[in-house]
Structure 1
Amino acid sequence: MTNYRRYRLDGGTYFFTVNLAERQRSLLTERIDSLRDAFRVVKNAHPFVIDAVVVLPEHLHTIWTLPQGDMDKM
């Protein structure tokens, strides 16, 4: 696996994209309620700010801001 160099900033804001393994599927929009529930569960366990989310049928883009002191979880 590639070892990417990343600049890690305590309490930083990050953009990332997540793709379904099966890009022909449209589970993210078909099961949007399950996705919302998953976001809620994770946010309750790990406080962070969801600045933006774009959900498409087979992938999503999101921008999250981590709280100060959250560097050790990256």
Structure 2
Amino acid sequence: MRKNLVFEIGTEELPPSCTGEGVSGLKEILENKLAENRLEFEDIQTYSSPRRLVAVVRRLSELQKSKIKTVTGPRLKVAFD
């Protein structure tokens, strides 16, 4: 089942020229971190006001995608006496 996730960050009064940079940075960081943690989502929408930065992650999966990791052990001649 997929649900929406809302991030809301309260700030001091931000100048209007900085809010655009803030929400674009927030969106970029969220996209990178969600991909890094293998979480699928449909879209990220961002909003801003002078005192808030908000990101809404639409249809975020509840479970990570499976990851198969192959780990090799010690060489055979070292492993056994």
Tell me: higher relative CO, structure 1 or 2? Use CA pairs within 8 A at least 6 residues apart.
1
CA radius of gyration, larger in? 2
TM-score by length of 1: 0.49
